[in-house]
Amino acid sequence: MPGRRRRPTSSTRSTTTTTRTAAPRKAAAKKAAPRKAAPKAAPKAGAELPVAGPGERVWVLAVPFRAPAPGASWHAGLSAHVYVGATLPAALAPYDPPPYSLERFLEDELNAEPRPVPAGRPMSPRPEQVSGAAVIAAHEAAGGRMFLLGDDPGVGKTGTAVLAVGQIATRRPVRTVLVVADRPAAITVPHWARSIAAFGDSDLRWCVTTWDRLGKVAGLTKATGTRFDVVIADEAHMVRHTTTQRWKHWKSVSGAGRVKDAPYVLLATATPAHTPLELPYLAPHFAAVHGEPLKEWADLPSRLAAHGFHVERARYGWSWTEDAEERRADLTRLRSWLADTDPPATLHRPAPWGPVSVTGTPVELTPAERAQYEAEWSEFRAEMQLARRKRETARGRAALLRFRQKAGLIRAAATVDWVKAQVEADRQVAVSVEFVETAADPIREALLDGGVAVASIYGRDRFDVEAERLRFQAGEAPVCVFTVTASISLHAGEVLPGGRAASTTPRVGLFHQPRFSGIAARQVTGRTHRDHQVSPWRVAFAQDTVEEDVARVMVERLAVTGSTAGGDTAGLQQIAELLDADWLPATSLTGAD
């Protein structure tokens, strides 16, 4: 039976919803008007945006999902709760955003005067941070568009970046600075905010957010007409894939597709990519080096091929050669594009306190565990062979994921015993895991049952991650179980908020399972082996199993995963062959890092 034709909108509907929805509906028309208003310095003039009356202020609030915010209203165009008044009511005070946050930045854009920022506890930069900032500033002064800061984890890229922005601002007009950091926001955003306050914000407007909220930033730039003068991409390898929404938003905020009026971009990562094909965020620099139109570099693989790189189209997109000589030639050419410019467009310095020590730790399985492991391995191989014959990529990925989860669960008790022994030896232990239900939870619960306090940094919104981190740093919890790979500090002696120092108890790290990706592994070891603090790491694996072979490859490749693309790919290929997964796309092994 055909449906009834919808009648025209009734007057009842419009009258009952006018005050709630008329302005947001007009926001659709606003998309056209603010386009013209984008160059304006004062977005407050737009009728669609909230406006403060005499003696009032527009307050933009950081209200958690589903939390009550009495008196505040949701502004769809800004994707934020807003309150207009002379002072912020006590009921809304918990949602007052901290300095340098996205909400505070937006609030200051909507008002005639920004709120003053409390003075931070000053920090003295290390010599390598001062010299690094000078190199970046020299590159910008010479007309450079973007710079790749590839110092090893723990050398101090955050401080180097903040100091560099201050120097850049003395030479060119800079008002706004965007910092995009890795998750979790509860740790990374305060870390950047403290560093900005400590090294000096140079009287600039800083906005610190995370890659997960980049879409919101892109939307706000369109709504308010704000453009950033400098953009810092912390963990820049997060935008190495051009098929993601994150890449789309990155292009918008970083001006990657603009020839004129583009911000200066500072890319910070110790692990840029697995292959040259994963460096699309450097395309504007490559175009400038060769004097070619920017639009030609929108397709990075094609341009690399045109410049003689050994890349070709494969079943799952473009692939890089496996020939060692050809790879070396490609990497030499790639490094020259970055390092041989005058002045250079990249900087990589190893940690002055030496490379991290990573060794394998075999776990001898009990007869029952061995039987269970062999059964899981046989089931995995049979499933993988079926998936391979039928070319069912999703099925192959699922089989690989299940096997890794089950293999890790079998060894959870051994990890707990090793951690307890380290705690008894007066060490603090950082345990890196990849899975929650089959690794993080059982390890945590067993340690708690054994009377060992555990700081937990995993799971979405399960724990207050900064509070948990501080428990570990203060020595209140001798063990930290975490899933994140970057942007948190777990090293001894760290200067904590308020000026107190973290415990000086030596740190040791343990990978509960071998990491497939050298990029992820290097990031993880840098959580404790940083800021002149030496911290050895172990890789646990089941003895006389495929895990032992994977761990061996991981340890070998960690030594060569350097500051440019390419050091990791040979190891990935070896691991894929060990697991009969060489027919799967490479992202099946590295997609999560």
Every domain of the chain and the residues it spans: 56-96, 127-347, 358-590
Q: How far apart are CA 214 and CA 134, in angstroms?
A: 29
Q: Which helix (H) or strand (E) holds 457?
A: strand 454-457
> Which candidate, 495, 550, 544, places its Cα nearest to that of 123?
495
Average pLDDT over residues 481-498: 89
What's the pLDDT score for residue 296?
95
pLDDT tens track for 237-256: 999 999 999 999 999 999 99
* pLDDT for 561: 54
Percentage, residues of the chain above pLDDT 90: 65
Burial class (CB in 10 A: 0-12, 13-18, 19+), 70: exposed
The pLDDT assigned to 520 comes to 83
Cβ 545 vs Cβ 373: under 8 Å: yes
pLDDT digits (tens, 9 = 90+) for 530-547: 988 999 999 999 999 999
Instruction: Specify burial of residue 582 (Cβ count, 10 A radius: 0-12, 13-18, 19+).
Output: middle
* pLDDT at residue 191 in the model: 86
Instruction: List the one residue out of 123, 122, 78 whose CA is nearest residue 97.
Output: 78
Which pLDDT value is given to residue 58?
A: 97
Comparing 164 with 122, the larger pLDDT belongs to 164
Residue-wise pLDDT tens digits, 287-319: 999 999 999 999 999 999 999 999 998 877 899
Assign 160 a pLDDT band (cuts: 50, 70, 90). Answer: very high
**Do 79 and 61 meet the contact criterion of CB atoms below 8 Å apart?**
no
Calculate the average pLDDT of the chain.
87
Structure tokens that stand for 77 in this block: 């165009």
The per-residue pLDDT for 120 is 81
Q: What is the pLDDT of residue 340?
A: 95
CATH 3.20.10.10 fits 127-347, yes or no: no
**Which pLDDT does position 559 carry in this prediction?**
63
Considering the chain, what percentage of its residues have pLDDT values greater than 70? 89
Arithmetic mean of pLDDT, 64-83: 92
Model confidence at 332, pLDDT cuts 50, 70, 90, reads very high
CATH architecture of 358-590: 3-Layer(aba) Sandwich (3.40)
Structure confidence at residue 10 (pLDDT): 38
Name residue 562's amino acid.
G
Instruction: Please report the pLDDT score of residue 282 as a whole number.
Output: 97
Asked whether the domain spanning 358-590 has the same topology as the one spanning 127-347, the reply is yes
**pLDDT at position 439:** 96
> What is the spatial distance between Cα 117 and Cα 428, in angstroms, rounded to a whole number?
36
pLDDT number for residue 17: 32
